[in-house]
Amino acid sequence: MLRVVVVVVLGFVTGVRADDGVLERLRADNARLEARVRELEAENAALRARLGNVEAAAEQSVTTSVDEERSVTSLDVEPSRLDLTGGNRSRHWISLHAKRGTGAPATGGAEIVIEAAASNGVYRRTEQLELSIDGRPLTLPVTARRATPLLAGPQQQRVGERETVQIAVPTDAVARIGGAGEVRGRLGPTTFVLDAEQIASFAAFARRLAAPE
């Protein structure tokens, strides 16, 4: 009988120790979870602050100029460097332009301008800009191309060509680009991706276009 009592007591003590071990593990897991939650909250706060900075910078990137004689208001987004992912490796910039008012062109919409520092005529026969907006395709027509020769040396020999390509973009497409999470593009042989600041600039530009004149 005494042995039975001793065994029961030992079993009870062992059970208590086991419960203590489980509780310690649970407390440790809870502490790790609380620490991870604090890290995520800090990351979210940093992302919100960065998003606010990006949106503020995007608003400032849109400039307005008024030609009272012609009754035209020009909206412009200053050029920013494109992040190229393939094709022509010359430096490229992208900008946005639109004109509003009674003296503005009747076509409406806006214009994307892509400028290449030394593309040497690769866009001579390019007819469209192909975009992927969050995986959904959008094709925009090229409306004009300008070429400027690059000269070097004492004889001012032609060593290349700088190109500027103008693309028509409807107002609703500007808003679509501005509301996207990812925008990829192809112009002729060149592929690129827009960064967060450039996408935010499209959004700011779309808001200006939608504002009452």
Residue 195: CATH number of its domain: 2.60.40
Count of domains forming the chain: 1
Confidence at 15, pLDDT banded by 50, 70, 90? low
Has residue 47 been placed in a domain?
Answer: no
Has residue 120 been placed in a domain?
Answer: yes
Predicted pLDDT at 156: 78
Has residue 4 been placed in a domain?
Answer: no
Q: How far apart are CA 147 and CA 50, in angstroms?
A: 38
Q: In this predicted model, what pLDDT tens digit does every residue of 122-179 receive, in sequence order?
A: 999 999 999 999 999 999 999 999 999 888 878 777 778 999 999 999 999 999 999 9
Predicted pLDDT at 38: 65
Confidence at 44, pLDDT banded by 50, 70, 90? low
Has residue 159 been placed in a domain?
Answer: yes
Has residue 180 been placed in a domain?
Answer: yes
Question: DSSP strand E in 68-208: where?
Answer: 72-81, 83-86, 92-100, 110-116, 128-133, 136-152, 157-169, 183-187, 190-193
Q: How far apart are CA 28 and CA 22, in angstroms?
A: 10
Confidence at 1, pLDDT banded by 50, 70, 90? very low
Predicted pLDDT at 91: 96
Tell me the residue type at 198. Q
Confidence at 33, pLDDT banded by 50, 70, 90? low
User: What are the φ/ψ torsions at residue 56 (nearest 5 degrees)?
Assistant: -65, -45
In what side-by-side order are the strands of the sheet with 128-133?
A: 62-67, 72-81, 92-100, 110-116, 157-169, 136-152, 128-133, 183-187, 190-193, 83-86
3-class SS of residue 101: coil
Question: C-alpha distances in angstroms, 91 versus 3, 34, 67, 82, 213?
Answer: 88, 47, 32, 8, 36
| Domain that includes residue 148, residue range | 58-210
Has residue 145 been placed in a domain?
Answer: yes
Has residue 26 been placed in a domain?
Answer: no
Q: Is the pLDDT of residue 71 over 90?
A: no
Q: Is the pLDDT of residue 103 over 90?
A: no
Token pair recorded at residue 117: 């520092």
92 with 116: CB under 8 angstroms? yes
Confidence at 4, pLDDT banded by 50, 70, 90? very low
Tell me the residue type at 64. T
Q: Could you give the percent of the chain with pLDDT greater than 90?
A: 51
Has residue 28 been placed in a domain?
Answer: no
Tokens 């050029």 locate to 79
